[in-house]
Amino acid sequence: MNRTQTITQRAIAPALLGLPVLALAGLAFTTPAAAQLAVRGETVYTMAGAPIRDGVVLLRDGKIERVGPAAQVGVPSGYRVLTAKVVTPGLVDAHSVVGLAGLLNQPHEQDQRDATDALQPELRAFDAYNPREELVGWLRGFGITTVHTGHGPGALVSGQTMVVKTTGENVGEALVDSATMLAFTLGRSVGANYRTPGTRAKGMAMLRTALLKAQDYARKQNGPAAQRPARDLELETLAKVLDGRMPALVTAHEATDILAALRLAQEFKLRLVLDGASEAYLVIPELRAAGVPVILHPTMIRPTGEAQNASLETARTLRAAGIPVALQSGYEGYVPKTRVVLFEAALAAANGLSFEDALRAVTLDAARVIGQERRVGSLEPGKDGDLALFDGDPFEYTTHVCAVVIGGAVVSEECR
């Protein structure tokens, strides 16, 4: 661990006291002790316009103050200056399980999926997130500053997800959004993990039954006080998905399962985010018609099981079809225990996705799909001071990440 500074967040107390979770969303990071910082890059990819040659990014009080060519943006006195060949926004991993699924792969630190029931929407990600987990630091070292993490695939509904910065000594310090999406899975993998559903059709029937029950619950909750049902954590969470407060993150790899996800979203008017999606290239017209963003599987996913038909070119195919696409590190059941989204984007860039589109898939487009584009994903004034500094083309394996900045604080200065 090379963290030189921590980001503090004073307002975690409400969550710990059981106050409404959504109140935590959008809380600002503050770095009262952070020195002001200027980052100068031979090339600065802002993701908000053309790359800037010899660009400067000024960071003040943890936020981006100014961005522009060095000729136009002077460095005020008192600013520490970092330089790099290439500067990008801090990378955004659109879907991971780090912090819940620990490095050792031992039962005591595997919290990404509970095996007692296939349908558990009430499980909150921040009740299980470990910000000191070594894999969080591992990702941070490769320039990943924001992660959408939480409950993983493999259950009909495994629980909720959250967005964190890859820093902080406790969950409150790391939190960006405490309840981001609800994680669903459709496909054969669910049947292998639970007694029921034993088939995919049964899984759909169980989900539809639960959502109908939640519709009824929500209707009664909004009805006369005397008829309101007792509070039910499971139905309360599903109601948030039904009324659009929480998107449904549906992991589905085979075309059959992707279409089932679209059908479910249509029936219940869910805000669907498709995840995994190995065979997405088979159902492009349907995805376009539904206007669904895709958090695509890691490019290097093993082509076996439900991902047997995965292609290195799917990111390119989706992008060309105008479908929003972000990349993810995903869930790994064995070795290596996580992937690194920087490398997944690199291989996508080597297989037809343009350099800037690949970079977008792990910065601004990833931020959009997780609802955090106002804070992260591009270098624009007012956004969080999150940057990654490289000594060459970020996607080349032999390039190093030589500094990582989160909320205006330099959290890593070791070339990796």
Partner 1 sequence: MLLLLAAARPAAAQEPVHVFRGATLYPISGPPVANGVLVVRGGKIAAVGAADAVTIPAGATVHDVSGKVILPGLVDTHSHVGGGEGGDRSAPLHPAVRILDTLDPQDDGIKRARAGGITTVNVMPGSGHLMSGQTAYLKLRNGRVVTDLLLCRDVLREVCGGMKMANGTNSRREPPFPGTRAKSAALVRERFVAAQNHRDKLRRAGGDASKAPARDLELEALAEVLDGRRQVHFHTHRADDILTAIRLGQEFGFKPVLHHVSEAWKVADQIAAAGVPSSIILLDAPGGKLETAEIRLSNGAALEKAGAAVAFHTDDGITDSRWFLRMAAMAVRAGMSRDAALDALTLAGARMLGLQERVGSLQAGKDADFIVLSGDPLSVYTHVEQTWVEGARVYDRANPAERALAVGGYGVYRGGEMHTAEGEWEDAQ
DSSP label at 317?
H
Interface with partner 1, residue 382, by CB under 8 A:
no
Pairing mode of beta strands 175-177, 182-185: unpaired
What is the C-alpha to C-alpha distance for residues 105 and 53, in angstroms, rounded to an integer?
44
Tokens in use for 200? 């995919």
- Of residues 2, 205, 333, 414, which one binds partner 1 by CB under 8 A? 333
The footprint of partner 1 on residues 251-280 (CB under 8 A) is 279
Tokens in use for 350? 């080597």
Interface with partner 1, residue 193, by CB under 8 A:
no
- Of residues 204, 346, 353, 370, which one binds partner 1 by CB under 8 A? 346
What is the C-alpha to C-alpha distance for residues 108 and 115, in angstroms, rounded to an integer?
13
Query: Which of 262, 277, 275 shows the shortest CA–CA distance to 314?
Result: 277
- Of residues 74, 198, 303, 322, which one binds partner 1 by CB under 8 A? 303
Binding segment for partner 1 (CB under 8 A), chosen from 67-75, 218-226, 337-345, 403-411, is: 337-345
**Shortest distance, CB of residue 215 to partner 1, whole angstroms?**
37
- Of residues 351, 356, 380, 381, which one binds partner 1 by CB under 8 A? 351
Query: Which of 257, 263, 275, 266 shows the shortest CA–CA distance to 370?
Result: 275
- Tell me the Ramachandran region of residue 187: left when phi exceeds 0, alpha when psi lies from -120 to 50, beta otherwise: left
Torsion of CA 371, 374, 380, 386, to 10 degrees: -60
Interface with partner 1, residue 135, by CB under 8 A:
yes
Binding residues for partner 1, how many (CB under 8 A)?
44
Binding segment for partner 1 (CB under 8 A), chosen from 119-127, 150-158, 365-373, 389-397, is: 389-397
What is the C-alpha to C-alpha distance for residues 251 and 294, in angstroms, rounded to an integer?
10
- Of residues 33, 226, 335, 382, which one binds partner 1 by CB under 8 A? 335
Binding segment for partner 1 (CB under 8 A), chosen from 27-35, 145-153, 159-167, 336-344, is: 336-344
Q: Interface residues with partner 1 (CB under 8 A)?
A: 102-106, 134-135, 138, 279, 281-282, 300, 302-305, 308-313, 332-340, 343, 346-347, 349-351, 395-400, 416
